[in-house]
Amino acid sequence: MPEKTLNALKYDVVSIGYPGLIRDGRPAAEPHNLAKGWVRFDFQAAFGCPVKMINDAAMQALGSYRGGTMLFLGLGTGLESAMVVEGTFVPMELGHLAITKRTFEDDLGARGLKRLGRKKWRKRVEEVTERFVSALHLADVVLGGGNAKKLTRVPAGCRVGDNAWAFLGGFRLWEKKAEHS
């Protein structure tokens, strides 16, 4: 957004969904796919108001949440993941878990889609999602990210998310119920 436009907006607080690991409300490391300068940047001073920052998958998960225990899986370049349990969001890195010589991200991310082809990739998404549902006792699973639209059939117990739900997650960050670990 051009600076002139941002200065014309009125806001009391700012929510930021960051594509990386967040620790104590701040980026733990510079992002892989964005310019450097995030770790030491003073967001509160720059915006002149309180700022809350969480992982971008956690923000979309929070916006997608309807109750109970929900898992968000972001099917994109990699595999993003976050849970919301009774209103508390829990950032996760399920994509980095190893399965044989690969990780879940290697199978469900863009590399897996390219290696497996669409039909086998869709089957793999279904298999892995079923494993997560049974292991985590989930009431709801949201499949988001750019590649979720490449699914022809949504696995049982799942629904397709929408990037716009991250905006709702940003608003929910400021509600008293929105807690995180």
Domain CATH code at residue 126: 3.30.420.40
Q: How far apart are CA 111 and CA 104, in angstroms?
A: 11
- Total domains in the chain come to 1
Report yes or no on 79 lying in a domain: yes
Does 23 reside within a domain? Answer: no
Rounded average pLDDT over 119-141: 93
Structural domain of 100: 67-161
Using CA atoms, how far apart are residues 26 and 40, in angstroms rounded to an integer?
9
- The two three-digit tokens of residue 3, written as one number: 């600076």
Higher pLDDT, 142 or 5: 142
Determine, yes or no, domain membership for 30: no
In a domain, 49, yes or no: no
Within-domain flag for 56: no
Cα–Cα distance for residue pair 41/108, rounded to 1 Å: 33
Q: How confident is the model at residue 181 (pLDDT cuts 50, 70, 90)?
A: very low
